[in-house]
Amino acid sequence: MSLTSDPPVTRAVEKEPVAGPELVVVPVRHPWRWVAVAVTAVLLVQFVHGLVTNPGWEWDVFAAFFTTETVLRAVWVTLQLTFHGTALGFAIGIVLAFMRLSASPFLRSVAFGYIWAFRSIPLIVQLLFWFNLAYLYKELSIGIPFGPSFLSFDTTGLVGEMSAAVLGLALHQAAYAAEIVRGGVLAVDEGQVQAAASLGIPRLRQVRRIVLPQAMRSILPNAANEIISLFKGTSIVSVMAIGELFYQVQVVYGRNGRVVPLLMVATAWYVLLTTALSVVQHYVERHYAKGSVR
């Protein structure tokens, strides 16, 4: 109680001794916390022991396949899918975000419609659509709408397996990226744009130099989540028989029957590369934290 610090309005109940040098602070004990720690530690040790000693994991098979050329090439394909999906996805996402923020109701609605549609369709369904694009449109052309075309492609050639996969991943990603970017832009103080406008800084420059770098602070953690989830999400592309990591591993264990160690090969690669992405994230975030005290 705060009796000692209250002004002596009422009579002093029990005069506590004033804190002197001989007083010792005794921290509160947490016996249940120690029980929880002990239980968790035992479980952990058991788990690790099982990993090492259970012959079912077949660590020798794991070691044999971890860096074989087939697996490495599959890792490379996975990285390519991730990179192109992310780059294209965020490029489209930024455009969509600014469409949603624009003063034009038409642009706003189109962007809203896109985001609504692509968040509603399961990725796997969408991927299969793209894969089967050739059935829908025999020929894609670039030119005046409904008019003469300057360039045209045969869809079977244009949308190869890889492009179909990247396109599907990117279009899906764009819907989420748009919302993340929009949220980041909205989080920037309105006064920043007003100050930039009052200084006559050109519009595009306001966005690139003043708004986006500040928006990056709230965009980055979410964007990193998205990239990591896309990275693992590439495994969905295995339904299209593209030789990415998960598909390739399935092919190998289909042949030799060593399911568990090969799943571990894929797992280890996913973990390793996700860790690498997290490290990159840390440094990029630090870059954009310039000038902040938090």
Partner 1 sequence: MSSVTVDPAAEAQAATTAKVEIRAVHKTFGPLHVLRGIDLDVRAGEVTVVLGPSGSGKSTLLRTINHLEKVDSGTVSVDGTLVGYRRSGNKLYELRERDILKQRTRIGFVFQNFHLFPHLTVLENIVEAPVSALKRPRKEAEAAARTLLERVGLADKAEAYPKQLSGGQQQRVAIARALALEPGLLLFDEPTSALDPELVGEVLDVIKDLAASGTTMIVVTHEIGFAREVADTVVFMDEGRIVEQGPPAEVLDSPRHERTRAFLSKVL
Point out which residues bind partner 1 (CB under 8 A): 189, 191-192, 194-203, 205, 209-210, 213-214, 288, 290-293
Closest C-alpha to 87, from 208, 174, 158, 207: 174
Residue 195 vs 271, nearer CB to partner 1: 195
Residue 214 vs 234, nearer CB to partner 1: 214
Contact between 184 and 255 (Cβ < 8 Å): no
The Cα 109–Cα 96 span in angstroms is 10
Contact between 184 and 211 (Cβ < 8 Å): no
For the bound state, the minimum distance from the C-beta of residue 1 to partner 1, rounded and expressed in Å, comes to: 36
Residue 52 vs 293, nearer CB to partner 1: 293
For the bound state, the minimum distance from the C-beta of residue 284 to partner 1, rounded and expressed in Å, comes to: 14
For the bound state, the minimum distance from the C-beta of residue 217 to partner 1, rounded and expressed in Å, comes to: 9
Neighbours of 163 (CB within 10 A): 14
Handedness of CA 190, 195, 197, 198 (dihedral sign): positive
Residue 30 vs 208, nearer CB to partner 1: 208
In 3-state terms, what secondary structure has residue 294? coil
For the bound state, the minimum distance from the C-beta of residue 294 to partner 1, rounded and expressed in Å, comes to: 9
For the bound state, the minimum distance from the C-beta of residue 201 to partner 1, rounded and expressed in Å, comes to: 5
Q: Tokens standing for 128? A: 């299969």
Residue 29 vs 294, nearer CB to partner 1: 294
For the bound state, the minimum distance from the C-beta of residue 197 to partner 1, rounded and expressed in Å, comes to: 7
CA atoms within 13 A on the CB side of 93: 28
Closest C-alpha to 169, from 221, 137, 129, 134: 129
Residue 99 vs 240, nearer CB to partner 1: 99
The Cα 230–Cα 239 span in angstroms is 16
DSSP 8-state code for residue 208 = I
